[in-house]
Structure 1
Amino acid sequence: MTLIQAVTSAPARPRRAAGLLGALLILSGVLALSLAVGARPLPAGQVWAGLTDAASPAYTVVHQMRLPRTLLGLLAGVALGLAGAVMQALTRNPLADPGVLGINAGASAAVVSALSFLGVTSFLGLVWFAFAGAGTVAVLLYAVGGGRGATPARLALAGAALNAALYSYVNAVQLLDTESLDRMRFWTVGSLASAQGSTVARLAPFVLVGAVLALALARPMNALALGDDAARGLGARPARTRIAAIAAVTLLCGAATAACGPIVFVGLMVPHLVRALTGPDLRWLLPYSAVLAPVLMLGADVLGRVLVRPSELQAGVVTVVLGGPFFLYFVRRRKAGA
């Protein structure tokens, strides 16, 4: 029995389907919590009135402020969760994450350059620069890390070097351009606070296309995990699969970073937690990651609103606080296993 056959046995499928339904229910609860919790907590009745009744006193708070923020967190979470799972499968590196390996840093450097030197401020203008930066770093990381022969250690080192260089550039641009610093100081730590309905509407098509592409890669990337020769025997095309995977990661990371800044560790933590439930089969791992990553993203955002009320911590700060210890624990566990 092959690895893929083992993890997709019939008795396991009902459990995974039930687990996915449970994850959707958890996500629904977190979405409702994101609409209700803030500097001014709202009961469920006022949240519903704020969504449906323009004459309600809560309409401005819920419909114009919290709803765009919640939808942005949902879309960005889906994008980062799927991107992290695809990157881990593509590189065979359990430490792969758009933030840890420099993909978000590439998008950030391109966006900062567009803001400071070209005066681009619209989302549609910035997102193309984010795609270019994320795609360039993804290709560069794959090449520097050794291509098909890349090891987790080489990829982690290459990602750390790219992260350091690119964020040094971002910080230098901000220090030299005080106006740019004022515009980007919240964006660079990763925030949902400035969400607008227009941004969500423009982000959605990019995330949808990237998500569909990532989910369509589940079977060929499952085959690729068995090696290139075995994958070809199963009808997959390794080179085309890798190119499509890089395209999906670029779309997802570029769009999410352009909309809410470089948020790290979401794409690292969620696939690991999901893998304990589903095993390595990407046909289950990817949908679970797409559902549970927004739970983490919105949960971090809600936690940031509550901890220092009436002020708030940015979602990117909370994910770093949560993800840093997780990253160190996982590295130490891998060392102990080795």
Structure 2
Amino acid sequence: MLNRGGRRGGRPGKTLGKAGYGVLILTALMCLALAIMLSVSIGIAGGGFKTLLQTVVLGDNSSNLGRIMLEMRLPRALAACLTGAAFALAGAIMQGITRNPLADAGLLGINAGAGFAVALGAVLWPSLSSLGTMLTAFGGAALAVLLVYGLGMGKQKSGAIRLILAGAAVGAFLTALSQGVGLTFGLSKDLSFWNSGSLAGISWAQLNIAAPWIAAAGVAGLLLAGRLSILALGEESAAGLGVNVGALRLTGLGVVLVLAGASVSLAGGISFLGLIIPHMARLLVGADYRKILPLSALLGGMLLVLSDVAARMINAPFDTPVGALVSVIGVPFFLVLTYRKKGAL
């Protein structure tokens, strides 16, 4: 079922057949559903799958525990699923349009840009709505992209390391500005926790605003999969096969901005998720983006849901920033990946 091929120029090292891929997707869906059920059924107030069944499936929320599950845990679990899928999908698309294995919305400063814009918006417009916060995050993400590519792209094509360095510089700069805003206006504690990534206090109202944006951008991203697979063969080959490379990259970047902006406005900055998950997906299905993107979304959602469960339980009843837990996994992965790729960068 697995066929080995070349490793360079975007050609797949492994290709998973349709039947095997279908089984893999079904398994990932089941694991994601179980992770969400686990998230809703576990908490310091108690729980269990029996109460979960009565509350969510049968609609019985007469007990206090049932209301906690329905009004607090369920929207939080669904938000973790959506934002995890969005960050992972954004990372996979970024890696596809840049042909850069180290590309990620967090590493390239996009999350920091969205976070800075949200911090500034909280000061300038204290009563800003959830939709306004999200639109502000979109603007900050776009600003970060312009800065990163302005620094990372010269007259010649930049290497991956130069782009990552530009992203690190821009991300650090915008994060410092966010912290400065927080210290000046007495928001440092809230912004520090939020910038580390947190799903605490997510409400149905916030989820209802962010979900359509993430879903629409996710569908748009999935529609790019075939052309991203062609682009992986090289720009000249893609152009020869009828792909408008410039339009593809512009569209992909727009999708990434919406995914990252909506996710950051909902859950704060969570780095490395978009770096880890696409590489895990490639190990399982090969280099075909038609398979990588859907699997990345499912794995990203599952990882963030489980990470959020751990974040709630590590120091209960207090929340540990979920972004910190993801970084514990992501930093070593990034270092190993950089070491393995250094000869090709």
Q: TM-score range by the shorter chain?
A: over 0.9
Q: Deviations over 1:71-124 (max 9, x none)?
A: 111111111010000011111221111111100001011111111123243211
Q: Corresponding residue for 1:317?
A: 324
1:203 has 2:205 as partner: no
Mean CA deviation greater in 73-82 or 225-234: 225-234
Change (3 A) 1:47 1:104: same
Higher share in helix: 1
Equivalents in 1 of 2:336, 2:13: separation in Å?
26
Letter in 2 for 1:152: A
User: C-alpha displacement at 1:284, in angstroms?
Assistant: 0.3
- 1:302 is the counterpart of 2:309: yes
8 Å contact from structure 2 (residues 107, 271) kept in 1: yes
- Is the CA contact (8 Å cut-off) linking 1:124 and 1:202 kept in structure 2? yes
Q: Which moved more, 1:193-202 or 1:52-61?
A: 52-61
Q: Which residue of 2 aligns with 1:125?
A: 132
* 2:316 aligned counterpart, secondary structure: coil
Alignment CA distance shift 1:219-1:7 (3 Å): farther
Moved more, 310-319 or 106-115: 310-319
2:234 to 187, 209, 227: 227
Q: CA deviation at 1:181?
A: 2.8
Is the Cα contact below 8 Å between 1:49 and 1:58 reproduced in 2? no
| Kept in 2: contact 1:96–1:156 (CA 8 A) | yes
Residue number in structure 1 paired with 2:245: 238
Q: Report if aligned partners of 1:221, 1:282 keep a CA contact under 8 Å in 2.
A: yes
Amino acid of the structure 2 residue aligned with 1:161: A
1:196 maps to amino acid: S
Within the candidate set 20, 39, 45, 2:25 is matched to: 20
- In the alignment, which residue of structure 1 is the partner of 2:88? 81
Distance 1:4 1:17, change over 3 A: farther
Is the Cα contact below 8 Å between 1:98 and 1:253 reproduced in 2?
yes
> How far is 1:333 from its partner?
2.8
CA–CA distance in structure 2, aligned partners of residues 273 and 85 of structure 1: 11
Alignment check: 8 A CA contact 2:14 2:285 kept: no
SS at match of 2:246: helix
- Gap runs ≥5 in structure 1: none
- Using the aligned pairs only, state the percent identity: 35
Q: Aligned-pair distance for 1:314?
A: 1.9
Whole-angstrom CA distance in 2 between matches of 1:182 and 1:310: 18
Tell me whether 1:193 sits opposite 2:200 in the alignment.
yes
- Structure 1 residues 161, 182: closer, same or farther in 2, change over 3 A? closer
Is the CA contact 1:215–1:287 (under 8 Å) kept in the aligned structure 2? Answer: yes
C-alpha contact 1:49 1:56 (8 A) present in aligned 2: no
The one-letter code matched in structure 1 to 2:43 is: G
1:283 Cα deviation (Å)? 0.2
**RMSD of the TM alignment (CA)?**
2.1
CA displacement, residues 239-276 of structure 1 (integer Å, 9 cap, x when unaligned): 11011001000000000001111111111111111110
* CA distance in 1 between partners of 2:239 and 2:306 (Å): 41
Correspondence for 1:255? 262
> What residue in structure 1 maps to residue 51 of structure 2?
46
Which residue in the other structure is 1:173 paired with?
181
Is the 8 Å Cα contact of residues 114 and 120 (structure 1) preserved in structure 2?
A: no
Structure 1 stretches of 4+ moved >6 Å: 1-9
Aligned counterpart in structure 1 of residue 160 of structure 2, from 146, 152, 157: 152
CA distance in 2, matches of 1:185, 1:50: 34
Which stretch shifts more, 102-111 or 11-20? 11-20
What is the CA deviation profile of residues 4-60 of structure 1, one whole-angstrom value per residue up to 9, with x for unaligned ones? 886796x72211121111111111110111101122341111112222113234221
Task: Structure 2: state its 5+ residue gaps.
Answer: none
TM-score in terms of structure 2 length: 0.91
Residue 97 in structure 1 maps to residue 104 in structure 2: yes
Between Structure 1 and Structure 2, how many residues are aligned? 336
Q: 1:213 aligns with which of 193, 215, 220?
A: 220
In 1: Cα distance, 2:177 partner to 2:234 partner: 38
Is the deviation greater in 227-236 or in 88-97?
227-236
In 2, the alpha carbon distance for the partners of 1:19 and 1:257 equals: 29
Paired position in structure 2 for 1:163: 171
Cα distance, 1:327 vs. partner?
A: 1.6
> Matched residue of 1:115: which SS?
helix
Distance in 2 between residues matched to 1:206 and 1:7, nearest whole Å? 34
Distance in 2 (alpha carbons) for counterparts of 1:122 and 1:181: 20
